[in-house]
Amino acid sequence: MSINSALLAGVSGLAANSAALSAISQNIANVNTIGYKRTQGEFQTMVNAQSFGTGYSAGGVMAATRNFISQAGQLQRTNSSTDLGISGSGFFVVTERSEGLEPTDTRLFTRAGAFRVDQMGYLKNTAGLYLQGWPVDSEGNLNTDPSDLNRLRSINVGTVGGTAEATTRVQLNANLRSSQAVSAEALAAAAIPPGANAYDPATNSMAMWDAETGTGVRPDFELTIPVSDSKGGQRTLAVSFLKSDVPNQWYAEIRAIPEDDVVTGAGLTNGQLRSGIIAFTQDGRLDVPAMQALGADALFDDPQNASLTFGASNGGAPGAGEFRWADGLGIDNQTVSFDLNASAGGLTQYDSASVVQATLTNGTAFGNLTEIQIDDEGYVTAIFDNGVVRRIAQVALATFPSPDSLTAVNGNAYRVTQGSGTFNLKAPGSGGAGFIGASQLEASTVDLSTEFTGLITTQRAYSASSKIITTADEMLEELLRIKR
């Protein structure tokens, strides 16, 4: 009966507009929810099968909810370095548990990046979901896989303790006065046979110099180098220079201060680590070919690859010309490279005062964690008060072929569906994934003016559908009166 179908069509209109009102209400309620994606009720007609000659039967309308998940919201600046927004495509991978994750545990996806450090040091958002990323191993490498969620771990910044870095490189910028007078010890060393009190690195060296007793040979110039060991302890190396009677050549010794910081092998005394000749060109620069020609007599036979190798404290007895750290220090082996011929300086011999312009080293003493920073490529970096910067992990972003088909769950997160397609894990800024915006949060995509307009039209449509029902009711009442 046509009046009956009109009545049912009106009921379907009421139901459809009620569903649309629910979507609008959800949007308005979440206007300030971080990373919220608006939904919208969309209508589609329902058509009944029509039989010729029997009149028209109204089908009505049905409402379906459409999610605008792929619509990006504006990024807004915050004061927290762990607030994260995504500029572009992708979702944070999050879990409901921080530790002991199994392959069967639920992985969710969200754009809500208001993360905070919890009591265990994990990054957790306001919905209680833990941020996942690829951890950086001890060698600074990442083990990534675009399809394996099991390689992700909950990012923990609370386990990062103090750190230190051993010195591996030293750059010396210093000048030796070319007009320095040749000492009596250096002249005696050049005599044949050597004269009394002649300089000798084994029996009468600069390392033996004692101003109070007058023993040893006083250096013409000396500089010290601070060195950090494997535990962040501070060690000191001294480089002593003595002008030779040969033009443009100097005797040089490198030793440890104090001498009991090292254990040395045969040929080294009083904390000596190395001794030999340094040669300069006539224009005052380091003469690399001349030192290479000197071979074993040079301080370093190849100044371009100059280095000292310290054995570990628990190493055996050092061989001739070798050395290691003292037993009581309990530190690891260490190789320190010397840059003596830097383009910006290095060792020079000009006719001006002997002076140290700079001693540059890359080691650091022990330092404590002061700050956590996250860059636009998702690298989570720990910064220490000794200047050390160390990467902890990289935030992973998941992309989908059809993100609008994801299913929404509590906590402003989403779950994979058949319609969304399989996820792909990507590093931020690569493969179509967006960049990370640190100290930023993505605002809700709700536009209140649009929602209030929708409220008006939905209310009017609901009222119109109710009129269908009242009109059909009146027509049925007229039909019933015919019998009277």
What is the pLDDT at residue 313? 94
Q: Is the confidence at residue 389, as pLDDT, over 60? A: yes
Token pair for residue 300? 């370093």
For the chain, give every domain's residue range.
2-68+445-481, 80-155+396-442, 163-367
pLDDT digits (tens, 9 = 90+) for 314-349: 988 999 999 999 999 999 999 999 998 865 678 999
Range 261-288 average pLDDT = 94
Range 408-432 average pLDDT = 92
Return the sign of the alpha-carbon dihedral for residues 15, 16, 21, 26.
positive
What is the pLDDT at residue 363? 76
Q: Is the confidence at residue 49, as pLDDT, over 80? A: no
Q: Is the confidence at residue 214, as pLDDT, over 60? A: yes
Q: Is the confidence at residue 1, as pLDDT, over 60? A: no
Question: pLDDT band at 298, cuts 50/70/90?
Answer: very high
Best CATH choice for the domain 163-367 from the list 3.40.190.10, 3.30.800.10, 2.60.98.20, 2.60.120.10 = 2.60.98.20
Percent of the chain with pLDDT over 70: 96
Range 66-85 average pLDDT = 91
Q: Which of 118-122, 204-208, 331-335 has the lowest mean pLDDT?
A: 118-122
Range 234-247 average pLDDT = 94
What is the pLDDT at residue 92? 96
**Higher per-residue confidence, 397 vs 66:** 397
State the chain's mean pLDDT as an integer. Answer: 90
Question: pLDDT band at 62, cuts 50/70/90?
Answer: confident
Token pair for residue 194? 């050597």
Q: Is the confidence at residue 442, as pLDDT, over 90? A: yes
Q: Is the confidence at residue 45, as pLDDT, over 90? A: no
Percent of the chain with pLDDT over 90: 62
Q: Is the confidence at residue 254, as pLDDT, over 60? A: yes
The amino acid at 344: A
Q: Is the confidence at residue 138, as pLDDT, over 80? A: no
pTM for the structure as a whole: 0.63
pLDDT digits (tens, 9 = 90+) for 451-484: 999 999 999 999 998 998 898 888 888 888 887 6
